[in-house]
Amino acid sequence: MPKHLTSKESRYKNKARRAKRPAQDAHEVDARATLDVLPVPSGGHDRTLSGVVSARETSGTNTGKSTFIQASVELDFSDYCLKIAAYYPVLRSSDGKLVQERAIMRICIDARALSPVMNGLGRYSLNLVREIARLDQQNDYVVLRRAAYRETLVVQQNFTEIPVSCDISSAQNVLAGAAVLNPLKVDVYHSLNHFLPLGARAGRVIVTLHDLIWVNDVAISYDALWRRSLVGGLVAPFIGRALRAADHVITVSQSTRQAALTRYGLPRNKFTVIHHGVDHAFLSAASPASLPDLCKGKRFIFSLGSSKPFKNVSRLIQAFAATLPHHPDLYLVVAGRGDGYPSLERLTRELGLAERVVFTGPLSDSEVRACFGEALLFAFPSLVEGFGLPPIEAMASGCPVVCSNVASLLEVAGEAALFVDPLDPRSIASGLLRLVEDERLREALVRKGHERASEFTWRACARKTLAIYGDELAAREP
């Protein structure tokens, strides 16, 4: 007979489900369980649903692969029709022996780093959520997204999205964000940026650490002194607090992991490195029609990023000034956004480059891909990066890369880029000249770049992230 659970018993811990049993080719399993469903807003208040499900295990095979017990229940409301699908993985070894059985997880992914203006954090958030949805149609997901981001991330039965007014890194979220998270009563909470609300409660808490620029490199984080003071004095301490409070930390590179270990002295096994991926769109050629008008008919070097000081665009402009006498037909195309571009435009005028440096402002993905396709090379001389996604996107697009020899870029680019000293404009200029003048080197880097970029996929990123969710849930089990 099935064991009945009451609402007071711990969710998803039905011993009857987890009990080890002899393997059978096929058998029925009755499972009564309380399903806590995300509160549904209706008429100005929340209603929580509970349902009882019965399940039938699918036929098992002696292949070492997982089989699943699937159950569904439909609940109709005047304003909602929820269909809940619960899948209970039954892991079997190669001899068909049942080795583990555990219940569905409820997971909250905090994707509020995604904003209407796409950046690296947003690209990570968007692609990770969508790839997880493709891989996992079994567990229950609640995705927190910024209300200003109007597009739905995932349309899928086991995904629910909640728009939230504040950004993940805002003071409002850090100080009061627990009021959004805690009522969800999730098994796993994953913050896709390195901040956690005070008082956050979840079965296990995971944080993705992208970099420690606001901690270790405050002096080059912003042009404005007041912003540097705000970040260094008020924001940076909350990053350290989040890393200490989390049960596990995902870092986007080995260098970021090492920086965190050095800074905070946390256990090494608390960190897992999971690299970013490359959008499939960058693997295919862009239409020449997508090339911005400012770039058409020009032989140019391409640069992409924000205007923040650590992006080092000022030294790139100085290096370009040293390159131009050797190739007076060249242009430097600088794409991106930020408050620092007026000062960079002023620098070009001082160096007599106003007609040779083109500032495009923010570009769409199709425009960026077109620039990668038409540029002689891509220059990325950052002083510090957590990962460094643009060089990999350039490689995927068939554009040779010259970039700085900082730790994360050495790790990510491997042997597929030409490295320069980002603190020395002469070194940057030498790298630019070498690639401009050496066609065979450009062709070699394009080949190596394609190979290197193929190693970074969002599918792999999502698979490894899902494995962390499973490990953390297993660590919580008694």
Structure tokens at 76: 């109709």
Give Cβ neighbours of residue 352 (< 8 Å, ≥ 6 apart): 321
Does residue 2 fall inside a structural domain? no
Q: How many CB atoms lie within 10 A of CB 177?
A: 25
Least confident of 43-52, 269-278, 428-437: 43-52
pLDDT of residue 477: 63
pLDDT score at 96: 40
89-93, 123-127, 146-150: which is most confident = 123-127
Residue 37's pLDDT is 32
Q: Based on the domain organization, do 250 and 264 belong to the same domain?
A: yes
Whether 307 and 424 map to the same domain: the answer is: yes
Claim to verify: residue 117 and residue 185 sit in the same structural domain: yes
Predicted confidence (pLDDT) at residue 376 exceeds the cutoff of 70 = yes
The residue with greater pLDDT, 64 or 156, is: 156
Q: Is residue 334 in some structural domain?
A: yes
In the block, which residue shows the tokens 């619960």? 86
Domain that holds residue 48: 15-101
- 264 CB-contact burial (10 Å; exposed 0-12 / middle 13-18 / buried 19+): middle
Most confident of 166-170, 215-219, 381-385: 381-385
Q: Are residues 300 and 443 in the same domain?
A: yes
Strand ranges of the sheet holding 188-191, from the earlier edge strand across to the other edge: 159-164, 140-146, 106-110, 188-191, 204-209, 248-251, 271-273
Does 242 have pLDDT greater than 70? yes
- The confidence score (pLDDT) of residue 224 equals 87
Q: Do 462 and 375 reside in the same domain of the chain?
A: no
The verdict on residue 9 lying in a domain is no
Q: What is the pLDDT of residue 227?
A: 87
pLDDT of residue 19: 35
148 located within any domain: yes
Residue 290 C-alpha from the chain's centroid: 26
Residue 7 maps to a domain: no
Share above pLDDT 70 across residues of the chain, in percent, rounded to a whole number: 78
DSSP, res 59 = P
| Per-residue pLDDT reduced to its tens digit, 148-159 | 999 999 999 999
Answer whether residue 74 shows pLDDT above 60. no
Res 102: pLDDT: 52
The strands making up 67-76's β-sheet, listed across from edge to edge, are 28-29, 55-57, 67-76, 81-92, 98-101
CATH of the domain at 313: 3.40.50.2000
114 with 153, same domain?
yes
Mean pLDDT of 171-188: 93
Tell me if 251 sits within 8 A of 271, measured CB to CB.
Answer: yes
Q: Is 418 left (phi over 0), alpha (psi -120 to 50) or beta?
A: beta
What are the tens digits of pLDDT across the range 283-337?
A: 888 888 899 999 999 999 999 999 999 999 999 999 999 999 999 999 999 999 8
How many CA atoms are closer than 13 Å to the CA of 306, on its beta-carbon side? 19
Per-residue confidence (pLDDT) for residue 233, from 0 to 100: 85
What pLDDT was estimated at residue 409?
A: 97
For the ranges 62-66, 267-271, 274-278, the lowest mean pLDDT is seen at: 62-66
The per-residue pLDDT for range 243-263, each reduced to its tens digit, is 999 999 999 999 999 999 999
350: confidence class by pLDDT, cuts 50, 70, 90: very high
Same domain, yes or no, for 323 and 236?
Answer: no
Indicate if 90 and 36 belong to the same structural domain.
yes
Task: Examine the fold and report which residue of 73, 101, 129 is the final residue of a domain before the chain moves on.
Answer: 101
Q: How many residues does the chain have?
A: 478
Q: Is residue 1 part of a domain?
A: no
Tell me: do 266 and 326 sit in the same domain.
no
Measured CA to CA, the distance from residue 455 to residue 144 in angstroms comes to 29
**Residue 73's pLDDT band (boundaries 50, 70, 90)?**
very low
pLDDT at 234: 83
Q: Considering only CA atoms, which of 138, 112, 134 is closest in space to residue 124?
A: 112
Distance of CA 321 to the CA centre of its chain: 36
| Alpha-carbon gap, residue 89 to 116, rounded angstroms | 37
Exposure string over 99-129, b if 16+ CB within 10 A, otherwise e: eebbbbbbbbbbbbbbbeeebbbbbbbbbbb
Q: Are residues 96 and 223 in the same domain?
A: no
Tell me the CA distances in angstroms from 387 to 157, 196, 259, 336, 392, one per residue in order. Answer: 33, 21, 13, 18, 10
Q: Is residue 325 part of a domain?
A: yes
Angle in degrees, CA 115, 117, 118, rounded to 5: 85
Q: What pLDDT is recorded for position 465?
A: 97
DSSP of 407-430: HHHHHHHTTSSEEE-TT-HHHHHH
Considering the domain architecture, whether residues 438 and 375 belong to the same structural domain is answered as yes
How much of the chain, in percent, has pLDDT values that exceed 90? 67
Q: Tell me the pairing of strands 106-110 and 98-101.
A: unpaired
Top-confidence residue, 438 or 40 = 438
Question: What is the Cα Rg of the chain in Å?
Answer: 25
Range with the lowest mean pLDDT among 64-73, 175-184, 238-247, 253-262?
64-73
- Residue 196's closest CA among 177, 209, 216? 177
Write down which residue in 74, 101, 128 finishes a domain: 101
Q: In total, how many domains does the chain have? A: 3
DSSP symbols for 341-355 = HHHHHHHHHHTT-TT
Look at the block and give the residue holding tokens 């981001």. Answer: 149
**Average pLDDT of 424-429?**
98
Q: How many other C-beta atoms lie within 10 A of the C-beta of residue 78?
A: 7
| 402: pLDDT strictly greater than 70 | yes
Q: What confidence score (pLDDT) does residue 337 get?
A: 87
pTM listed for this prediction? 0.78
**Average pLDDT over every residue of 214-242:** 90
Structure tokens at 42: 């209706």
- Between the two ends of the chain, the Cα-to-Cα distance in Å is 24
Within-domain flag for 220: yes
Residues 40, 27 contacting (CB under 8 angstroms): no
**Tokens read off for 56:** 């039938």
Closest CA to 159 of 138, 185, 179: 138
What is the identity of the amino acid at 408? S
Q: In the prediction, which pLDDT does 206 show?
A: 97
Q: How high is the pLDDT of residue 478?
A: 57
Average pLDDT for the chain:
81
Q: Is the pLDDT of residue 467 over 90?
A: yes
pLDDT at residue 14 above 80? no
pLDDT digits (tens, 9 = 90+) for 378-399: 999 999 999 999 999 999 999 9
Considering the domain architecture, whether residues 58 and 116 belong to the same structural domain is answered as no
387, two tokens: 């990962």
User: Three-class SS of residue 406?
Assistant: coil
- Beta bridge pairs of residue 260: none
Tokens of 405: 């020899």
Does residue 118 have a pLDDT over 70? yes
